[in-house]
Chain A
Amino acid sequence: MDHDATGRAIAEPGDRRTREPGTAAGGPRLGRRRLLRLLGLGALGVAPLPVLPELIRAAGRDEPVQGTGDPARTRDGRIRQWVMIIDLRSCDGCQSVGQPPRCTAACIEGHFAPEPMEWIEVFEADLPGGGTQFIPTPCQHCQNPPCVNVCPVAATFSTPEGTVLIDQDRCIGCRICMASCPYDRRFFNWGDAPVPPESLLADYSPEHQVPVRRGTVMKCDFCPDMARAGTLPYCIQACPQRALYYGDLEEDVATNGRALVSVSRFLAENQAERQKEELGTKPRVYYIPGHGEAVGRDVFTPGREPTEWPWMERAAEAVTWQR
């Protein structure tokens, strides 16, 4: 400290006496020392004050996230592990139907998803040798989910069934999950998007994110409530080419609504891949490589019909936005 040098410059005999710790009288020194210690401890004690709420939180840790149902189980009691397989050989981006991708449309209508959200979005990617392929992309339901890792309030969480859900009643809207999702699969309610009035009557749960809540994040929930009730997710039901399969890793079965396949055999025999495997996110969505060849699509016919949201004419004063 600078005091030292100044003190030395003076070099007063009186000062020097106080400098020797050993020679000072015992009584008052002890008192001072205690005072010093108090001050130091006080400073140290104030610094971790912000930790206190954390400790309070720890007590209430077990509070359940609202509205998730009991996990589905196989007959012998194992928890089902939902999985989606997308056979790109059969996906032509609904070019042959001449309509916007039916999976996206069914998902929007089933979930009353506000514009411009496409929880399952059909991307058109360039093939290495020219031409394009269509890649329907729902939330990948990672087993090492970057979004769950970074969420400050556990509003997005992994379930025992291996899905990733969002509790819009807890989400604070910080959007760090959107920054961390490597698949661009999260959507924010930037304003009051147009939704049909009947959606407002729905019972909200993280498995059925209706009605929308402004200022929170949404995404594909893998429809576990529907799967438990014995129906397939909207997107699977709607695919005209039966390119989408939904199933259970635990029992090793999946279906596209017509055929039943053994998941492990189907994946192994068709060189299945996952998107951005190198990131280590371990998605639950598998892809069979292809570009619609099984349904006769020509790779050099690009483009698909743009997605539509049927809600606009129903909501008079609604705002909308672009992605």
Chain B
Amino acid sequence: MAAVSAWRGRLEETALAPIRRTGLRYWALVAFLLAVLGWGAYAYWTQLRDGLVVTGMRDRISWGLYIATFVFFIGISHAGTLISAILRVSQARWRTPVTRMAEFITVVALVCGASFVIIDLGRPDRVLNVFAYGRWQSPIIWDVLAITTYLTASITYLFVPMIPDLALFRDRLAGRTSRWRGWLYRALAIGWDGTAAQWRSLGSAIGVLMILIIPIAVSVHTVVSWIFAMTMRVPWNSALFGAFFVAGAIFSGIAILIIVMAILRRGYHLDEYVTEKHFLYLGYLMAAFAAIMIYANISELVTHGYKMEEGVEFHFRQLFLTQFGALYWFYLLGGLVAPIVIALLPWTRNVRGMVAAALLVTMAMWIERYVIVVSGLRVPLMAYPPADYAPTWVEWSLLAAGLALFALLITLFTKVFPIIAVWEVAEEGEASTAAPGTDRRAVPETMELAGGTGR
């Protein structure tokens, strides 16, 4: 029993450490990210002043980096759903230490992704027209609905399992932290005191949410793909698009999760909880999704390429040989084949290898989105020479700012909220150390009831 409580104490201290101590390096990082954001704000101000003419987009290639980045961010938001909902449903217990990070990523990525749609608008001042005059028939409205629903659901899904940990923070930090923090934890813990009834309610709520969030997440990336698939462009004319985008979303979500895990593990000394096993399992999962992506690409390319209908030859040439050749081959080989090879080879099957694979996948998936958007619009519709598109400094700056916003929000989150799901890890740890019937009065009841609904 002593061993167990010492272990649990260490766990709680690890979770509390980011809040108790803030080093110089942290502030340096925040300052750097703020500087990038400031630069992005300047770029956006330029765009507001002069119009979208400061971007590389024009009439014939009327979407570009912004829309690609929007799709990319919405994609990586699927990290949370995968880890905390799909893996929770399938009872993969190893996921517990990384659950919270995945849920952070989901919420933050959605916020970043949504902001890129606004950045892309010609008239951001009229964005509320979407609510005033929205038409159900428009894929954009499907997106607005799906993303706002997903954001609401994922904030709820981040918050609900965090309640016991917030209560822990409230109790452990009472009087030992700033006033606003004390108030925040008191408010957010909504009176949690760990009674059996509360545990039971929590288990049920999580059970409902985790089922609910899976179809929402699938719908989100499906309708994102339908923005493209509902138009009359040859390369986008595919019934596979929805499923293809969802697979790609989960794929890139895993990659981002691996990267965030690696950074937080090093930054906050989480080695005891986020172990090599987590990197390997997620790496295997990523390799499996790479295989799905390869399959999806083959079926997409073959059904288009075999028949070579109008415009397809042009599209294949720009994809494999000319305009997008380098990007597309990098995506196929570096983004889809390499993660499988890395997962297969014994000497790359380690943390470093998986992080490298994750970086490759993240880059490749951004490139994939970029190529899908730009190449789809580049196929000429009429008798005109194909247009070209290259992002300008404004667009690159806003991409950098978007990534900085993503990193900054995660960074700030880690200083306010528990980055490890303490009670879930504790349950897991105590079960595996198997010290039966010590001080686990309330917890098992939740488990039983939640287990009952899960089955």
| A residues neighboring B (CB under 8 Å) | 1-12, 14-15, 18-19, 21, 28, 31-32, 35-36, 39-40, 43-44, 46-51, 53-54, 56-57, 60, 63, 116, 123-126, 135, 137, 146, 149-155, 170-176, 178-184, 186-192, 214-217, 279, 281, 319, 321-323
**CB-based contact A10/B444 at 8 Å:** yes
- Select the residue from A7, A56, A178, A216 with max chain B CB neighbours within 10 A: A7
Tell me if A174 and B431 are in contact (CB < 8 A): no
Whether a CB of chain A sits under 8 angstroms from the CB of B304 is no
Q: Which residues of B contact A (CB under 8 A)?
A: 50-55, 57-60, 62-63, 88-89, 91-93, 96, 117, 120-123, 126-127, 129-141, 144-145, 148-149, 152-153, 156, 160, 196-197, 200-201, 203-209, 212, 216, 227-228, 230-233, 377, 380-384, 387, 427-428, 431, 434, 436-437, 440, 444-455
Whether A182 contacts B451 by the Cβ 8 Å rule is: no
Q: Which residues of B contact A39 (CB under 8 A)?
A: 160, 201, 204-205, 208
Asked if B52 contacts A43 (CB within 8 A), the reply is no
The answer on a CB contact under 8 Å between B131 and A57 is: yes
B92 CB contacts on chain A under 8 angstroms? 2
Measured between beta carbons, the chain A residues less than 8 angstroms from B447 are 1, 3-4, 6-7
Question: What are 15 residue pairs bridging A and B, where the CB atoms are less than 8 Å apart in the complex?
Answer: A1-B203, A1-B447, A6-B427, A18-B196, A28-B197, A39-B201, A46-B153, A149-B137, A152-B130, A152-B138, A170-B126, A173-B121, A179-B63, A184-B380, A190-B52
Among A39, A123, A187, max chain B CB count under 10 A is at A39
Beyond A14-B444, A184-B59, A216-B122, 11 additional contacts (C-beta under 8 Å) are A4-B91, A18-B449, A40-B205, A47-B149, A135-B383, A146-B232, A170-B129, A173-B123, A174-B140, A188-B52, A216-B123
Which chain A residue has the least Cβ–Cβ distance from B203?
Answer: A3
Instruction: Assess the B62–A175 pair: CB atoms within 8 A.
Output: yes
Most chain A beta-carbon neighbours within 10 Å: one of B59, B63, B382 = B59
Q: How far apart are the CA atoms of A31 and B201 in the complex, in Å?
A: 11
Give the distance in Å from the alpha carbon of A162 to the alpha carbon of B106 in the complex: 45
Inter-chain contacts of A54 with B (CB < 8 A): 131, 134, 136, 141, 145
Q: Is there contact, CB below 8 Å, between B152 and A49? A: yes
> Is the Cβ of A19 less than 8 Å from the Cβ of B452?
yes
| Cβ of B213 to closest chain A Cβ, rounded Å | 9
Chain B residues with CB under 8 Å of A9's CB are: 431, 434
Q: Once the chains bind, are B59 and A123 in contact (CB under 8 Å)?
A: no
Q: Please state if A180 and B230 are interface contacts (CB–CB under 8 Å).
A: yes
Q: Are A215 and B123 in contact (CB under 8 A)?
A: yes
By Cβ-Cβ distance, the 4 closest A-B pairs, closest first, are A173-B122, A4-B451, A191-B53, A215-B122
Q: How far is the CA of A155 from the CA of B149 in the complex (A)?
A: 25
Determine the distance from Cα of A225 to Cα of B445 in the docked complex, in whole angstroms. 75
**Contact, CB under 8 Å: A12 / B145:** no
* Cβ contact within 8 Å between B59 and A176: no
Partner of B120, one of A8, A154, A174, A191: A174
User: Could you tell me the distance between the alpha carbons of A170 and B135 in the complex, rounded to whole angstroms?
Assistant: 13
CA distance A187 to B53 in the complex (A): 13
